[in-house]
Amino acid sequence: MNYAEIIVTRRTQPNYQTFTYSIPKTLRRRLRKGQVVEVPFGRQIVTGVVLKTTQETEIEGTRNIKKIIFPTSLLDENQFQLAELISQYYKCALGIVIKAITPRYVRGKTLYKINYLRGTRRKPKSPKQEKVLDFLKKNPGTFSVKEVARRTNVSENLLKQMLKNHLVKGVEEIQYPDPLAIYQKEVKQRKIPEPLNLPKINLAHNPIYLIFDQSGNTKDKIYLEQIKKVISKDKQVLLIVPEISLTPAKIKQLLSYFPDQVAIWHSKLSRSHKMHQWLKIQSGEAKIIIGSRSSLFCPFKKLGLVILDNEHDSSYKQEQSPRYHARKITLMLNQLRKIPVILGSANPSVESYYATQRKKYNLIRIPPKKKPRAEIVDLTTEIHKGNRSIFSDGFLETLNATLQNKGQAVLFLNRRGSATLVICRECGHVVSCPRCDIPLVYHTQDQKKLFRCHHCYYQVEAPKRCPNCYSHYLNYLGLGTQKIEEEIKKYFPKAKILRIDKDSASKKSVFFNIYQKFQNKKADILIGTKMIQSFLHFPNVSFLGIVNADTLLNLPDFRNQEKTFQLLNQFLIAIQNKKNPGRTIIQTYIPNNLALRSLVTNNYQKLLAKELKDRRELNYPPFGQLIKLIYTAKKEEKCFEVGVKLKLNLARFQHKIGLEDAEIIGPTPAFIPKVGDQYRYYLILKGKGVRKLLPAVPPSWRIDIDPESLL
C-alpha cells in the first residue's frame, strides 16, 4: 500500500476530516490500521491514527508519514466498527469518534531485558559469562538485567557488555506506571461470599437484563456472581459506573476478590496510566474492567459481559461531540458483538422500564427490604410558625441530636456559592456576567469576596457598590452550599465542617483528601452538591438533610420528576443500607409533589406509571424520539433568523418526504440563552421518524440525538 488516511489527534477543522499521507517504502510492510504514527501537519509534527491504507489517491503533493511510534495497533476492527455505528447514529463525523476513543499516546519508560541467544558462534570469555549463559539456558524466558545480575551474582556492567558483544539477546520493553499500585498495597484478598437466593440469570443467547433493585444492594451481589462465572470461561467483563461512583472503596472491593485481574478506566487517569491500562486490557491480562462511560471504547480481547450500573444516571450522556449515551453504546455492543448486557438500577430510567413492558429486556425486580426512614418537612408551615430560618426546627433538632451522639451528618443542596442573586435595592440592577447575561453567584474564597459565573467561569472581585448606580445597598439573595456552611457555623460553632462541591474539590487530590478526612471522622458535618453520594455509606453517617428539594424540582424539563426521584433515592439507599440506618429529612415548599411522595413511600412504580401516561400523551420518549438542534452566534437576532429559516426548510422537507408524525418546535432561546459571548437557540424535533429530517440540517447546526434535557 502506498497511501494512508490518517486522523490527526489534535484539533483540526470542525468536521475532523482525515488527511492522506504517503507511506515511505521503509514502513509499507509494517504499517497497519489502528496504529499511532507521527506525521507533519502544517509546520508541526503531530501524532495520528491510521484509518485505512490505499494503493492510489487523487490527492497530489502528499507528505510522508514520519514514523510508526507504537508497534501494535491501538484500535482493533471491533472498535472501528463501533466507531462507524456511533458516527451513523449520532450524526457525527467519524474522525471525531475515532479521536474520542483513542488514548493520547505517551512514551513509557524503556526497560531492557535479556534472554538466551540460540545459534550464536561467539564464545564466553570468562567463567562469569559462562555462568550467565548457563542460567539463561536452564531458565527459558526474559529477565531484566537487574534480576539476572542478582541471580547469577555478576555485575550489571558485565551483562551490558555481553549484550554489546551479542552473547545474549536483548529485548526492549516499554513500561507504564500502574494506577492500581496505590490500592494493591492496602487490599487483603477475600473470597466472594456464597450467593443465597439470588435471581437466576442465563447469559446464553446474548440477553439484555434490567435489574430493578429496590433493596439497593442485591444487584451488587448479582454482579459479583456473574463476573465470577464469566471470567471462569476466560472472558472479560466490563463494569461501567457513573464517574462519581468510581470510589476507592469500589476499586478495593474488586481487587480484594479478583487480585491482578482488574483494570480501571476513567477521565482522571494520567496519559501514562491510561496507556498501562489500555495495554493490559488489550492483552487480555485484565479480566475485569471497571470504568466510567469512556471505558466502553477499550480494546477488549474477549468481552463476555457488559454491566451498566445505575443505568438511569444522567452523567452517562456526553455533552460534547460525540454526544453519545453509555446505555445506547452498551446496546450497540449487544447487537454488534452479541454480548450479554445487564442494566442495573434502584430506580431505572423510564425508557428502560418501558422496554421491559415491551419484552425487549428481561426484568428482574427485587422488592425493598425496609421502609425508608425519611420524612418531608413543609417549609410553608415553618413560616406560619414564625420560623424564617433556612432550616426547620425538626431539621436543627435532628442535626443537634446527631452531633450529641457523636454521629456524622451530610447536608445536600444542589447549588454552589453563597448567594445566587445579588440585586441593588436602589435601582434594581442585578449583578450579571457580561459574557452570559445571567446573574453572577457570590462566593468567598481565601478571604476574598468574588462574583463568579458558573457557565463561562468569568470571575471578578465583588464590588462594595452597585456597578450601575454606585449605591451601597446591595441585597444578597438565594442559597448555595457556601451559604449553608456559613449558617450552620452560626448554629453549631464547635462542629468541624467540610464542604464538597466543584469549588472546594476541583482537583482529584482535594476530593480524596476530603474523602479520607470524613471517613476517618475528622469532621462532623459534610455539606455539598451531588458529590455527597460517595460519603453516605460511611458507618458513622446517621443524618442526611436535604436543605431544599425545590432547587431540583423547579427546573422546566420533561425528565424533572424522574431525575429528582432518582438522585434523592440514591442518597436514601446509601444512608439506609448499613448496619445502623440513618435518618433523612427533606425540606420543601411543595410537600405533595409526586416525586417526593413516591420517594418516602418507596413507590417508584406509581411515578413511572404517571410519567409513561404523560409522555405517551405528549409524544415524549420512549414513545417519540427527541433531537435537539443547537445554533450559536454573537448576535441574538442572527440566531432567531437562522432558526426561522431552518424551521421553514425542515417543514418543506417534512412535507416532501411525507413525514406526518413529527413536530418542529422553536426556534427558542436556550434555558441559559447566552454563554461566553455566544447566544444559543434551539430547534426541537419530536416524534417518530424525526431522524429522517436530519439531511436538511446544515453543518452550522450542532445535532444532539436523544438529549437528556431540553434546557
End-to-end C-alpha distance for the chain, whole angstroms: 49
Task: Please give the pLDDT value at position 275.
Answer: 84
Is residue 108 over pLDDT 70? no
273 φ/ψ angles, rounded to the nearest 5 degrees: -65, -40
Query: In the structure grid, which three cell numbers stand for residue 594, read together?
Result: 409526586
Is 595's pLDDT higher than 80? Answer: yes
Coil, strand or helix at 687: strand
Among 155-169, 345-359, 488-502, 553-567, the range with the most confident prediction by mean pLDDT is 345-359
Residue 117 has pLDDT above 70, yes or no: no
Range of lowest pLDDT (124-128, 202-206, 365-369, 582-586) = 124-128
Cα separation of 366 and 213, whole Å? 5
* Per-residue pLDDT at 12: 54
Residue 442 corresponds to which amino acid? Y
Phi and psi, residue 611, nearest 5°: -65, -45
Helix, strand, coil shares, percent, the chain, to 5: 35, 25, 40
- Tell me, what's the pLDDT at 501? 80
Of the candidate ranges 106-110, 122-126, 280-284, 318-322, the one whose mean pLDDT is the lowest: 106-110
Angle between helix 156-164 and 127-138 (nearest 10): 80
Distance CA(558)–CA(703), nearest Å, equals 19
Predicted TM-score (pTM) of the model is 0.84
471-499 tens-digit pLDDT: 888 877 777 888 888 899 999 999 999 98
Instruction: Kindly write down the DSSP assignment for every residue of 198-232, as one continuous string.
Output: PPP---TT--EEEEEETTSSHHHHHHHHHHHHHHT
Whose cell is 440525538? That residue is 705
Average pLDDT over residues 443-450: 75
Residue 629 has a pLDDT of 97
Structure confidence at residue 217 (pLDDT): 82
CA distance 467 to 461: 12
What's the rounded mean pLDDT across residues 71-92?
90
The pLDDT of residue 373: 86
Answer yes or no: is pLDDT of 536 > 50.
yes
DSSP state letter for 255: H
Report the pLDDT value the prediction gives residue 188, as an integer from 0 to 100.
Answer: 78
Instruction: Supply angle C-alpha 357, 362, 368, rounded to 5.
Output: 85
| pLDDT, averaged across the chain | 87
* pLDDT band (50, 70, 90) for residue 298: very high
Q: Distance between CA atoms of 381 and 383, rounded to whole angstroms?
A: 5
Look at residue 624 in the predicted model and tell me its pLDDT.
94
* C-beta atoms surrounding 510 within 10 Å: 12
Q: Is the pLDDT of residue 196 over 70?
A: yes
Q: How confident is the model at residue 69 (pLDDT cuts 50, 70, 90)?
A: confident
Which residues are paired to 497 by β-bridges?
Answer: 525
pLDDT surpasses 60 at 72: yes
Helix axes 145-152, 156-164, angle to 10 degrees: 120
CA distances from 73 to 85, 120, 272, 278 (A): 20, 32, 17, 11
Residue 621 — φ and ψ, nearest 5°? -55, 140
Query: In the beta sheet, which residues pair with residue 289?
Result: 238, 263
- Assess contact for 394 and 585: CB atoms under 8 A: yes
Average pLDDT, integer, range 78-82: 92
Contact criterion met (CB below 8 Å) for 64 and 24: yes
Beta bridge partners of 631: 681
Average pLDDT score over residue span 624-653: 95
pLDDT at 92 over 80: yes
Q: Edge to edge, what strands does the sheet with 143-144 contain?
A: 143-144, 109-115, 169-175
Instruction: Specify the residue for cell string 464590588.
Output: 463
Helix (H, G, I), strand (E, B) or coil at 374: strand
253 touches 193 (CB < 8 A): no
pLDDT of residue 11: 57
Give the contacts of 80 (CB within 8 A, at least 6 positions apart): 33, 34, 98
Q: Determine what percent of the chain is predicted with pLDDT higher than 90.
A: 44
Strand order in the sheet with 497-500: 374-378, 583-588, 541-546, 408-412, 525-528, 497-500
pLDDT at position 677 is: 85
Q: Could you read off the pLDDT of 222-240 as tens digits, one per residue?
A: 999 999 999 999 999 999 9
Is 90 exceeded by the pLDDT of residue 600?
yes
* pLDDT at position 76 over 70: yes
Which class for 96: exposed (0-12), middle (13-18), buried (19 or more C-beta within 10 A)?
Answer: buried
3-state secondary structure 595-619: HHHHHHCCCHHHHHHHHHHHHHHHC
Pick the more confident residue, 259 or 173. Answer: 259
Structural domains of the chain in order of their starting residue, each with its CATH number: 3-101 (3.40.1440.60), 109-175 (1.10.10.10), 187-366 (3.40.50.300), 374-415+479-613 (3.40.50.300), 625-705 (3.30.70.600)
What is the reported pLDDT for 405? 93
Residue in the block written with cell 426548510: 649
Pick the residue with more confidence: 170 or 148? 148
Cβ atoms of residues 278 and 103 within 8 Å: yes
Which of 182-186, 502-506, 525-529, 576-580 has the largest mean confidence?
A: 525-529
The pLDDT of 428-452, averaged and rounded, is: 79
SS3 at position 452 = strand
- Asked if 29 contacts 63 with a C-beta cutoff of 8 angstroms, the reply is no
Query: Which pLDDT belongs to residue 323?
Result: 94
pLDDT at 631 exceeding the cut of 90: yes
The predicted structure's pLDDT at residue 107:
54
Residues 6+ apart with CB under 8 A from 86: 92, 97, 322, 324, 329, 332
Are the C-beta atoms of residues 340 and 233 closer than 8 Å to each other?
Answer: no
Q: Is the pLDDT of residue 166 over 60?
A: yes
In this prediction, residue 249 carries a pLDDT of 78
One-character DSSP codes across 154-207: --HHHHHHHHHTTSSEEEEEEE---TTHHHHTT----PPPPP-SPPP---TT--
Please state the rounded mean pLDDT for residues 356-377.
Answer: 91
- Given a cut of 90, is residue 404 above it in pLDDT? yes
Nearest to 521 by CA among 401, 399, 409: 409
Q: Which three cell numbers stand for residue 559?
A: 425528565
Residue 15's pLDDT is: 55
Q: Quick count: other Cβ atoms within 10 Å of Cβ 429?
A: 16
- Give pLDDT, residue 95: 80
- What is the reported pLDDT for 432? 84
Amino acid identity, position 231: I
Distance between CA atoms of residues 662 and 688, nearest Å: 6
Amino acid sitting at position 265: W
The maximal CA–CA distance of the chain, rounded, in angstroms, is 99
Average pLDDT over residues 179-200: 79
Give Cα separations from 141 to 151, 280, 296 (angstroms).
14, 20, 34
Output phi, psi for 519, to 5 deg.
-60, -35
Average pLDDT over residues 129-133: 85
Please name which of 196, 256, 247 lies closest in space to residue 225, comparing C-alpha atoms.
Answer: 196
- What letter would DSSP give residue 446? T
Residue 125 is predicted with a pLDDT of 79
Return the pLDDT at 414: 86
pLDDT digits (tens, 9 = 90+) for 8-65: 866 555 455 788 999 998 898 889 898 888 899 888 888 888 988 888 888 888 899 9
Q: Are the CB atoms for 701 and 631 separated by under 8 Å?
A: yes
Residue 119: its pLDDT value, please? 43
